[in-house]
Structure 1
Amino acid sequence: MHGRPSGAGLRRIQVTEMTNERWARSLECSGTGESAELDAPAFLSPAGKPWLVRYDLDPAKGQAWRESLLLRPWTLWRYRELLPVRDFEGRIDLGEGGTPLIRLQRLGPEGVEVLVKEEGGNPSGSFKARGLSLAVNRARELGAPGVQLPSAGNAALALATYAAAGGLPCRVAMPEDTPPFLFERCRQLGAEIHSVAGTLVEAGARLAEIDDGFWMLSTLKEPYRVEGKKTMGLELAEQLDWRLPDWILYPTGGGTGIIGMHKAFDELEALGLIGSERPRFAVVQMAGCAPIVRAFEEGQTSAQPWENPSTRVWGLRVPQAVGDFLILDALRESDGQAVAVEEDRIAEMMGRASRLEGLDVGPEGAACLLALEDLRAADHIVPGQRVVVFQTGHPANYRES
């Protein structure tokens, strides 16, 4: 299992801690390149596109930064110079990040090294903790009166968790058929709950009717969730001794993780810590809601909304992604693939992962393991390659009560 890196391969020198200098410098529109002030409230750019944080990076900083990591706790905050938080010492920190890579013994295709990035151990039980930690920290230090978002479930739980820890009022809207545990837990955390007929689209519309100044922290409609998610890419590089895998298979709703990891690898290259080679990304969606897969297969640069989405894999019931063009760019730049998985295969894979590997995977993780089999069968993945599969949430979050 790949957990905390050992530091093997580092030069044997005295390691000294770096300062709390923040390398973040500005925001940049992902569509036009327009710049904006970093420490002012920001949502979508004037062009209606996501803002991305830009940093002051050069190879002269890279080696000292890499060595300083040896002294730091194994959470996402070890990468603080590559995060935009202004008040590092005053941050909300629940121990998010630092999740293990688990090598499959019997479930993976023959000859392929498969590593599962197990995100279910994060606070709130999913990878959503990474992005919402950063988003809530920034909202709090920039003066938000409250925070809100529509969610298929796990993002609502993460937002409620970090808002409670930070003392911020919180409001979430979820489809009415979201598993009851998620409603119950958000309510326990003090969030205002809205149960809405329909999907994320209708949940978002419900929140748009309320005009009381709460900041909307929806996927890519503010700049900081992607910064939290990019730490998955920073961790992968460090856990694998700065050699990236051949493939990354990722369950994709809003796609913040793919966009974030793509960004992380570019930043590591700018620091001189990796070269120009990149993993091939594979988007994994459900056959009943696959807007990115359809757009990729049709050669489109953006994805049309999926009509009447139908899947019980809640995290993948996302009919439209604000960052669709960024996801598709990352796929094509990496020579990646997009896979739609049939609903009736999920339960069997969840059981097989338990029996063969002792892993308690959620439905999104099971979808990625099925995509692994499909990509191997199509000879996209071949023996001798190293593949990272994201297991993004603990199945306990989907229990009935």
Structure 2
Amino acid sequence: MNLTHLVCAACGTSHPAGELLNLCKACGMPLWSMYDLPAAARTLTKESLKTREKSLWRYREVLPVKSDANIVTLGEGGTPLFKTPRLGARLGMADLRIKDEGQNPTASFKARGMTTAISMAKELGVKKLAVPSAGNAAGAMAAYAAKAGIEAFVFMPADTPRAFIIECQVQGAHVTLINGLITDCGAEVARRKQAEGWFDVSTLKEPYRLEGKKTLGYELAEQLDWQIPDVVIYPTGGGTGLVGMWKAFQEMEAMGWIGSKRPRIFSVQAAGCAPIVSAYEKGLAKAPEFPNAHTKASGLRVPKAIGDFIMLDAIRKSHGGVCAVTDEEMVAGVKEIGETEGMFVAPEGGACYAALKRLVADGSIKREEQTVIFNTGSGLKYLECFG
């Protein structure tokens, strides 16, 4: 609608809007969608939002699809931000909240990215889509591709939880299981996509999943009456949500909705797959591939993320930090959230609470700070983790 061009997050090279692109033509790094924000702000206002639909498409002016006819939606976004006083009381925290992305279509935050990515694919005439995924992205891609009438090809590790595999098959996707990690799945997509005629919608390897994910930041600010929380705790695999929120805060400030305050962002990873944690602690700008990656939290089993440099920059600029937790701590965190607040969160959500306990204990997060945990999916998809 107000999309003007794409710009490389690494080298700054500009690319035209309306052209089907994956990565920067100059350096092969992720592309960001850029908007005419003064034009957007003329109709997208705090007042106008009060009467709009409860979905992420309420932020239509800062989303990339040109024609409304090409929007592919299942009602994503508008997820609740729960106050969790009983859980917070266990840590002596005055204001702890959980943003529950498990209430999206396909039961995860991946619906946000796929609604915009598939809508743009439809608008740009894509006929076949492919994605490597540890689970939730595959399910979301299959669902939105089915809704759009686009053929979907999904590549997942062979040990992906059964619920994700069934979800993709039921929604008509061509499912291929790979003996390996998501990086191996990505390599298979890269090897075959040109010959097969697939458009690759891998994390941050096309510009538009990020645009759906950034609405996490818009919603968070709106739900807190345009105040920014002190702390955000985010489970990090590919990192699109973290990067997207950082972009959203910049856009909202440019439109005059918020000031310069940013939440302190804490990235949470699994002890068995912690490339961002390791790179942060070593002071690196990029994260080397994590060896022998393993964790029950399939969304966190990403040994190498193309957007690592953006994540690390955002964490440092926000004066946040990192934390890696064990699978046992994640499962215990899921159970603790369930028994205090009645929410069955994904292991990734449990990981965030486990990290919070440690970060409060060591003084990295103060008990009086308003803190938001992001739960990225429903625990019902991970039943194997709780046997």
For the aligned pair, the TM-score class normalised by the smaller chain equals over 0.9
Paired with 2:41 and 2:327, the residues of 1 have a C-alpha distance of 47
- Assess if the C-alpha contact under 8 Å between 2:44 and 2:59 holds in 1: no
**Match of 1:167, as an amino acid?**
G
SS of corresponding position for 2:177 = strand
Cα 1:389–1:62 change in 2 (3 A) is farther
Alignment partner of 2:50: what SS?
helix
Per the alignment, residue 103 of structure 1 pairs with 83
- Residue 99 of structure 2 corresponds to residue 120 of structure 1: no
Q: Which residue of 2 aligns with 1:294?
A: 278
Q: 1:133 to 1:125 in 2, by over 3 A?
A: same
**Partner residue of 2:49 out of 69, 73, 82:** 69
- Using the TM superposition, give the Cα deviation of residue 166 of structure 1 relative to its aligned residue in structure 2, in angstroms: 0.4
User: Which amino acid in the other structure matches residue 96 of structure 1?
Assistant: E
Percent identity of equivalent pairs: 46
Residue of structure 2 in register with 1:304 after alignment: 288
Q: In the alignment, is the contact (CA less than 8 A) between 1:59 and 1:270 conserved in 2?
A: no
Unpaired stretches in structure 1, ≥5 consecutive residues: 1-21
Alignment counterpart, residue 121 of structure 2, candidates 119, 124, 139: 139
Greater Cα shift, 338-347 or 290-299: 338-347
8 A Cα contact 2:2 2:40, kept in partner:
no
Which residue in 2 is equivalent to 1:16? none
1:227 matches 2:206: no
Aligned to 2:2: 23
Distance 2:310 2:69 in 1: 33
Q: Hey, what's the Cα distance between the residues in 2 that align with 1:184 and 1:399? A: 14
Match of 1:3 in 2: none
Q: Does 1:259 align with 2:238?
A: no
**One-letter amino acid of the structure 1 residue matched with residue 143 of structure 2:** T
Q: Alignment partner of 1:155: what SS?
A: helix
SS for the counterpart of 2:156 is strand
Match of 2:21 in 1: 42
- Structure 1 residue ranges (4+ consecutive) displaced by more than 4 angstroms after TM superposition: none
Residues 317-376 of structure 1, C-alpha deviations (whole Å, 9 max, x = no match): 000000000000100110010100012212222111111111111100000011111110
AA at the equivalent of 1:359? M
What is the CA–CA distance in structure 1 between the aligned matches of 2:242 and 2:336, rounded to whole Å? 27
For the residues of structure 2 that align with 1:356 and 1:263, how far apart are their CA atoms? 33
Q: Partner of 2:29: helix, strand, or coil?
A: coil
Counterpart for residue 280 of structure 1: 264
2:200: which partner in 1? 216
Unmatched runs of 5 consecutive residues or more in structure 2: none
Q: Is the 8 A contact 1:287 1:341 kept in 2?
A: yes
Per the normalisation by structure 2, the TM-score is: 0.96
User: What do residues 203-235 of structure 1 show as CA deviations (whole Å, max 9, x unaligned)?
Assistant: 112223322111000000000011000000000
Q: Which structure dedicates a bigger proportion of its chain to helix?
A: 2
1:184 equivalent in structure 2: 166
With the length of structure 1 as denominator, give the TM-score of the two structures. Answer: 0.92
What does the per-residue CA deviation read over 1:122-168, in whole Å, with 9 as the maximum and x for residues that have no partner? 01010000001110110111011211110000000000000000000
Provide the rounded CA distance (Å) in 2 between the counterparts of 1:187 and 1:233: 32
